[in-house]
Structure 1
Amino acid sequence: MSQTPIRTTVIGSYPFPGWLEFVSQNLDKFGAADIEEAIEDAVIAAIHDQTSAGLDVITDGEQTRLDFNLSFYGFISGIQNNASTTRKFGPSAHDQRGKNDIIGNLSAPNGLGTVKEFERLKKLAPKGPILKASIPGPYTLSGRLLPNETYKDRYEITEALLPIISSELEALVVAGCTEITVDEPSMSCYAYKADTKRFVDIFNRTIRSVQGKCNLSTHLCFGNYKGRPVGYRSIRPMLPDFLEMNVDEIHIEMANREFSEIELLAPFAEKMKVAVGVIDVKNYYIESVDDVVERINRCLKYVPAEKLSVAPDCGLSQTARWASRQKLINMVTGAKKVRESL
């Protein structure tokens, strides 16, 4: 699929408006209609900030998700939250995110909610930008589920989730979604010590039924929990196996790593389009337009303009809205400046 040179996009999430956090913590005080109104208002706010920045691709900001991953467990039958495994105090880290016991067969009889999110986005978004949906892949989604007698390890849990994700992707395509990202940060975080060929096989089987039916991408980062990564932050272990992922575009975190291994973008660009993280979502330094221009020009040494997209490193959900807004404005301004100079 052809695309705008140096396309501007986002990963998925956007910060909640402050009032939505209050609503989410006090749901018992609101009726169903109040909650739906609050969700729509939050999505409108996310759309406004993205379209005002001038992005080529926008999302709903994942305003219905309390977490890009954990929220999906509310749609899955056969699990029960296990609060006893979660550390309550001390420095923030991933082990403070919830885990779940598996108490039955894993299924999602009513889907995972992404189609409803996309339909809402279609209703509220203006004409012009491309509308994108994102969903965690089965390996990443398996990460907060505890093995049991039926599902003996993470890979068996992944295999049980795989058809659920595939069905959701198919439903999104039927709903008219032309841009989908399958988030698999767990694969990039653990590529240094795992069977990367097995990762690729899992991924390709997950997306097989929608391959060629939408602009399909994957997001490979090194984790972001309250501004902290969790994985071994290197692209090198992903190569060469991840080049066999059947995607149109791959999103790679760069800004937070000071563009380390930028030369490794080249082999990816030979096989697919590349969306490079030029905005650091874990840093409250606001990248200037000149910063963005310089970073894009560095990327162009390894990725042709017609294959290059630029984006924040990760979703923006854990970056304050005032900073997220200005970072996106400067990113888009810088991209347009380089695009016009080509």
Structure 2
Amino acid sequence: MQPIPVKTTVVGSMPFPGWLEFASGHLDKLGPSDLSEMIDDAVVAAIHDQVTAGLDVITDGEQTRLDFNLSFYGFIEGIQNDASETRVFGPPAHDQRGKNSIVSLLSAPKGLGVVEEYLRLKRLAPEGQRVKMSIPGPYTLAGRLNPGTFYKDRWEVTEALLPLVSREIEALVALGCPEICIDEPSMSCYAYREDTKRFVDIFNRTVAPGVGRTRLSMHLCFGNYKGRSVGKKTIAPMLPDFMDMTVDELHSEMAILNFAEVHLLERFAERFDVAVGVIDVKSYYIETPADVEERIRKVLPFVPAEKLAVAPDCGLSQTARWATRLKLKAMCDGAKLVRGSL
């Protein structure tokens, strides 16, 4: 497909409709056909909101995932939930997500479920619509798992998960999935304190089945559980090592940074297309098209229009649906203003 200057896209998740959240708490009252219809309807709603906003590239909104990351534990054998470790009361934060124990060697004999999500999206999306699928990378996926006695530490858990993610990528590629986004926010959150060369090696081995066979994108952010960050909000520690990632497009938060490090995007643009967060998903200020245009023009001196994509800073699962619709529409309208002047 021809590249789109100042392409508009999303990271992956969209907010759940209220009725989906309600129904998810009453699954015992639904039959298999009810459940199947509900899932289709939720994906149709997510598609509608994205297409109506005017996005160039859409996803299924991750409507079958209760969490962009933790939901995958349901597909992996050898994991036991430790609900008792979760902090319940007080201000919401990442330590309320809970931990899970590893009770045997990890495996996913039936895959991780993304293949089924892609086939559903392909069936329900408008003909000719550009689509992509997202999947968490193994380092991020390892973040809520206690190694137990089977693995020494998070690095060993990551190595155990890596082939599971790789096989899912390979299966998506075999089906012709045009773009796969690997979510690795933990790598950007901890780039300031961990071995960034090791991150690059893990990422490149994970995506190896897709290299040269599909478009690979990578999402980096600083956390967005309950609208809260968890990482040190700077992209500087990612350089220069992240330049060695085997990826076509790298996404970075920028709105939440108030574009303070926008000049560093020039380095990334030397090697990749760059998706830049121009919508603050943690704020209920609704950006205007003029706001978005101004933000994009801050980026253009460092990332050429033909290599630039614009997106929300992070997934939209933690943002109310009404706000999401307005923010996405403003983003697309702002991008059109810039395109019209190129």
Q: TM-score range by the shorter chain?
A: over 0.9
For 1:242 and 1:300, locate their aligned partners in 2 and report how far apart those are by CA, in whole Å.
Answer: 21
Matched ranges for 1:208-219 at <5 A: 208-219=208-219
For the 8 Å contact 1:2–1:306, the answer to whether it is kept is no
In the TM superposition, 1:184-333 aligns within 5 A as 184-333=184-333
- Contact 2:103/2:150, CA 8 A, preserved across alignment: no
Identity of paired residues, percent?
A: 69
Q: TM-score, normalised by structure 1?
A: 0.99
Distance 1:93 1:211 in 2: 36
Contact kept? 1:5, 1:307, Cα under 8 Å:
yes
**Partner-residue secondary structure (3-state), 2:15:** coil
**Aligned mates of 1:159, 1:318 — CA distance in 2:** 29
CA-CA distance at 1:2 after TM superposition? 5.3
Whole-angstrom distance in 1 between the partners of 2:98 and 2:201? 28
Question: Residue 138 of structure 2 aligns with which residue?
Answer: 138
The AA in structure 2 aligned to 1:293 is E
Deviation at 1:83, TM superposition (A): 1.2
Report the Cα offset of residue 129 of structure 1: 2.2
Which aligned pairs between 1:141-180 and structure 2 lie closer than 5 A? 141-180=141-180
SS at match of 1:250: strand
Distance 1:47 1:225 in 2: 23
1:122 maps to a residue whose letter is K
Deviations 1:177-235 (A, max 9, x none): 11110000000000000000000000000001211111101000000011110001100
Find the residue that maps to 2:91 and give its secondary structure.
Answer: coil
| Conserved 8 A contact 1:114-1:168 | yes
Counterparts of 1:44-123 in structure 2 under 5 Å?
Answer: 44-123=44-123
Deviates more, 1:197-206 or 1:90-99: 90-99
Distance in 2, matches of 1:128 and 1:289, equals 26
Instruction: Return the offset for 1:147.
Output: 1.2
Q: CA deviation at 1:256?
A: 1.2
Structure-1 separation of matches of 2:296 and 2:128: 24
Quote the residue 1:28 is aligned against. Answer: 28
* One-letter identity of the residue aligned with 1:164: L
State the one-letter code of the partner of 1:169. I
Asked if structure 2 preserves the Cα contact closer than 8 Å seen for 1:79 and 1:100, the reply is yes
SS at match of 2:329: helix
Q: TM-score, structure 2 length as denominator?
A: 0.99
RMSD: 0.8
**Gaps (5+ residues) in structure 1?**
none
SS of 1:255's equivalent in the other structure is coil
| Paired letter, 1:261 | E
**Deviation at residue 3 of structure 1 after TM alignment:** 1.3
Give the deviation of 1:127 after TM superposition. 1.6
2:95 and 2:226 mapped to 1: Cα distance? 12
| Contact 1:80 1:100 survives alignment (8 Å) | yes
| Residue identity matched to 1:207 | V
Tell me if the contact between 1:55 and 1:129 (Cα under 8 Å) persists in the aligned partners. no
Secondary structure (helix, strand or coil) at the match of 2:100 reads: strand
Partners of 1:290 and 1:298 lie apart in 2 by 13
Q: For the Cα contact (< 8 Å) 2:7–2:310, is it kept in 1?
A: yes
Kindly indicate whether residue 128 of structure 2 is the aligned counterpart of residue 128 of structure 1: yes
The residue type paired with residue 247 of structure 1 is: V
**In the comparison of the two structures, how many residue pairs are matched?**
342
